[in-house]
Structure 1
Amino acid sequence: MLTSKELFTYHTSRNFLCFATKWTFDNDPLAALDCSSVCLVLLSGVGLTSDIWTPIVERLHNIQLQGRPFLESIWAVDRPSHGDSGVLNESALIGCQGLSPCAEYAAAFSAFLASPLLSSKERANLVIVSHSAGVAAPVYTYSECQLDPPIRSLVLIEPTVFDSSDMGIFEQWIRRTEKFIKSQKTAWTTIDEAMSTNKIWQKFHPEVRTIIANTFFRHTRGSDFSTKTSVAQEVSAFKEVALGIDIGQRLGSIIPKIPTHLIYGSRRDYWPKALDEAFFRLIHNHQHNFASVTPIAGESHFAPQEAPAQVAISIYKAVVATALQESKPVSRL
C-alpha cells in the first residue's frame, strides 16, 4: 500500500491550499482493466483530519486482499481549516469574517473532484464516504450543482442531520460545546499531557490515538505543543454546523437518486436525546430509500475512530454492492 499527500488550490473569497491524501494498492494487474472498481473519497467531521482514516484504509486493503480488488484508490480530503491544511492557511484564515466552514469544505471537495489529481477512471467511479459534519461537503456540492461529476454511491457515517424544529436544542448544545472547547488548555509541555486531557480521544482505538499523537500537534512557544487545528477554527466549524441544519432536507432529496448506505454507532451518548430522535426519524422516513442501514454495535458517534475494523467491513460491503451493480447509475444532480 502506497501513501502520498497531494496539494491543490481552490478559490473562493480567498485562495486556500488543501491537502488530499491518496492510498493506492498493489492489486492484480487485471484490476486495472476492471471497470467495476471504485475510487473512495473520505471526508472528515469537525476536529478530525485525513490522517486518522489510515486504520480504516489499512483494513480495507486487507479485506480486499482476500477477494476481488474492487478498490482502485482511496483519497481523503482535508478540511481547509484543520490539520496540516489549517497550518498552511493560517494567515489567510486570520480575520476572515463571514467564512462558512461547511461551504469552504464543499468548495474544497468540489475543487478536488475537478482537479487533475483524479484520473478519468477514478472520477467516473466515485464512492463518497463522509463522517459526521463531513456530510455537508457532498450534500452542498450536489444539491447546489456546483459541480456535475458522476457519483456511484454515498456512504454516510453518523451524518450530522437534524430537523429544523430541533434548532433550539442544537444551538444549546453548540453553546455548551463552544464553552467547553474554549475552557480547555491550548498548550501543553508534552504530547502525552495533551492526549490525556481529551476524554473523547481516550475512547479511540489505540492506532488512532497513536496517529493523533504523531500528527495533530506542533511546537509553539519554545518547547510547548499545541494542536495544528486552532481552537478558533474548531469552534467556528461547530457553530457553522447549526447554520447547516438544512442538510437533512437536502439529503432527503438526494437519497432516492443515489444509492446511499448509512452506518451509525449503537451507543448513543454524544447528542442530546432530542437530536438522537431526529436522527432516527431520518432513518425511519427514508428506510425504503437507503441501500443499507448498518449499526456498529457498542460504538458511538465516533465509530470510525473507535472501531476501524467494523467500520471498514461495513464500508467494504457498500463498495462491493456498488461495484456489482448491473448498471452504474450516474447521478447528475
Structure 2
Amino acid sequence: MLTSKALFSYHTSRNFLCFATKWTFDNDPLAALDRSSVCLVLLSGVGLTSDIWTPIVERLHHIQLQRRPFLESIWAVDRPSHGDSGVLNESALIGCQGLSPCAEYAAAFSAFLASPLLSSKERANLVVVSHSAGVAAPVYAYSECQLDPPIRSLVLIEPTVFDSSDTGIFEQWIRRTEKFIKNQKTAWTTIDEAMSTNKIWQKFHPEVRTIIANTFFRHTRGSDFSTKTSIAQEVSAFKEVALGVDIGQRLGSIIPKIPTHIIYGSRRDYWPKALDEAFFRLIHNHQHNFASVTPIAGESHFAPQEAPAQVATSIYKAVVATALQESRPVSRL
C-alpha cells in the first residue's frame, strides 16, 4: 500500500490550500481491466483529520485482496481549517468573519473533484464516505456547487442531521460544547500530557491514538506543544454544526437520487436524547430509500476511530452494493 499527499488550491472569500491524501494498492493485474473498480473519497468530521482514516484504509486493503470489486484508490480530503491544511491556511483564516466551515469544506471537496488529481477512471467510479459533520461537504456540493462528476453512492457514518423542532436543544448543546472546548488547555509540555487530557481520544483504537500523537501536534513557544487545529477553528466548526437541520433537509432530496448507505454506532452517548431521536426519525422516514442501514455494535458517534475493522467491513459492503449496481445510471453532483 502506497501513501502520498497532494496539494490543491481553491478560492472562495480568499485563496486557500488543501491537502488530499491518496492510498493506492498493488492489485492483481486484472484490476486495471475491472470496470467495477471503485475510488473512495473520505471526508472527516469536526476536530478530526485525514490521517486517522489510515487504520480503516489498511483494513479495506486487506478485505479487497480477498474479494472483488477492486479499490482503484482511496482519497481523504482535509478540512481547510484543520490539521496540516489549517496550518497552511492560518494567515488566510485570521479575521475571516462570517466564514462558513461547512461551505468551505464543500468548496474544497468540489475543487478536489474538479482537479486533475483524479484520473478519468477514478472520477467515473466515485463512492463518497463522510463522517459526522463531514456530510455537509457532499450535500452542499450537490446542492450549491453544481459540478458534474458522477457519484455512484454515498456512505454516511453518523451523519450530523437534525429536525427543525430540535434547534433549541441543539443550540444548548453547542453552547456547552463551545464552553468545554474553550476551557481546554491549548499548550502542553509533552504529547503524552496532551493525549491524557482528551477523554474522547482515550476511547479510540490504539492505532488511531498513535496517529493522533504523531500527527495532531506542533511545537509552540519553545518546547511546548499545541494542536495544529486551533481552538478557534474547532469552535467555529462546532458552532456551525447547527446547520445540521439544513443539511438534513437537503439530504432528504438527495437520498432518492443517489444510493445512500447509513452506518451508525449503537452506543448512543454523544448527542442529547432529542437529537438522537431526530437522527432515527430521518432513518425511519427514508428507510425505503436508503440502500442500507448498518449499526456498529457497542461503538459511539466515533465508531470509525473506535472500531476501524467493523467500519471498514461495513464500508466495503456498500462498495460491493455499488458495484452490483454498475448498470444503473449514476447521479451527478
- Provide Cα deviations, 1:123-164, integer angstroms capped at 9, x if missing partner: 010000000000000000002243121100000000000011
Per the TM alignment, residue 169 of structure 1 is displaced from its structure 2 partner at its CA by 0.4
Mapped to 1, the partners of 2:101 and 2:63 lie a distance apart of: 34
- Provide Cα deviations, 1:67-126, integer angstroms capped at 9, x if missing partner: 224210000000000000000000110111110000000000000000000000000100
Report if the CA contact (8 A) 1:28-1:69 is conserved.
Answer: no
Per the TM alignment, residue 330 of structure 1 is displaced from its structure 2 partner at its CA by 1.4
Tell me the residue number matched to 2:168: 168
- Provide Cα deviations, 1:233-263, integer angstroms capped at 9, x if missing partner: 0000001111342100100000011110000
Gaps in structure 1 of 5+ consecutive residues = none
Between 69-78 and 124-133, the greater mean CA deviation after superposition = 69-78
Per the TM alignment, residue 326 of structure 1 is displaced from its structure 2 partner at its CA by 4.3
Report if the CA contact (8 A) 1:70-1:319 is conserved.
Answer: no
Report if the CA contact (8 A) 1:41-1:127 is conserved.
Answer: yes
Mapped to 2, the partners of 1:320 and 1:73 lie a distance apart of: 15
Matched, 1:116 2:116: yes
SS in 1 for 2:47: coil
Q: Normalising by structure 1, report the TM-score.
A: 0.99
- Provide Cα deviations, 1:186-217, integer angstroms capped at 9, x if missing partner: 00000000000000000000000000000000
Mapped to 2, the partners of 1:318 and 1:226 lie a distance apart of: 37
Tell me the residue number matched to 1:275: 275
Mapped to 2, the partners of 1:268 and 1:234 lie a distance apart of: 23
Q: Normalising by structure 2, report the TM-score.
A: 0.99
Mapped to 2, the partners of 1:7 and 1:301 lie a distance apart of: 30
Report if the CA contact (8 A) 2:110-2:145 is conserved.
Answer: no
Report if the CA contact (8 A) 2:263-2:295 is conserved.
Answer: yes
Mapped to 2, the partners of 1:324 and 1:243 lie a distance apart of: 34
Report if the CA contact (8 A) 1:27-1:69 is conserved.
Answer: no
Report if the CA contact (8 A) 2:195-2:201 is conserved.
Answer: yes
Gaps in structure 2 of 5+ consecutive residues = none
Report if the CA contact (8 A) 1:133-1:160 is conserved.
Answer: yes
Between 215-224 and 235-244, the greater mean CA deviation after superposition = 235-244
Report if the CA contact (8 A) 1:19-1:78 is conserved.
Answer: yes
Tell me the residue number matched to 1:318: 318
Per the TM alignment, residue 314 of structure 1 is displaced from its structure 2 partner at its CA by 0.1
- Provide Cα deviations, 1:26-71, integer angstroms capped at 9, x if missing partner: 0011111111001000000000000000000000000011122421
**Gap change, CA 1:144 and 1:221, over 3 Å in 2:** same
Mapped to 1, the partners of 2:191 and 2:278 lie a distance apart of: 38
SS in 2 for 1:56: helix
Per the TM alignment, residue 329 of structure 1 is displaced from its structure 2 partner at its CA by 2.5
Mapped to 1, the partners of 2:98 and 2:252 lie a distance apart of: 27
Tell me the residue number matched to 2:39: 39
Mapped to 2, the partners of 1:275 and 1:215 lie a distance apart of: 32
Report if the CA contact (8 A) 2:60-2:316 is conserved.
Answer: yes
Between 223-232 and 142-151, the greater mean CA deviation after superposition = 142-151
Report if the CA contact (8 A) 1:261-1:318 is conserved.
Answer: yes
Report if the CA contact (8 A) 1:152-1:328 is conserved.
Answer: no
Match runs of 1:1-333 below 5 Å: 1-332=1-332
Report if the CA contact (8 A) 2:36-2:69 is conserved.
Answer: no
Mapped to 2, the partners of 1:168 and 1:148 lie a distance apart of: 37
Between 322-331 and 156-165, the greater mean CA deviation after superposition = 322-331
Question: How well do the aligned residues superpose, as a CA RMSD in angstroms?
Answer: 0.8
Mapped to 1, the partners of 2:273 and 2:283 lie a distance apart of: 16
Mapped to 2, the partners of 1:233 and 1:265 lie a distance apart of: 26
Per the TM alignment, residue 324 of structure 1 is displaced from its structure 2 partner at its CA by 1.8
Mapped to 1, the partners of 2:144 and 2:185 lie a distance apart of: 39
Report if the CA contact (8 A) 2:262-2:292 is conserved.
Answer: yes
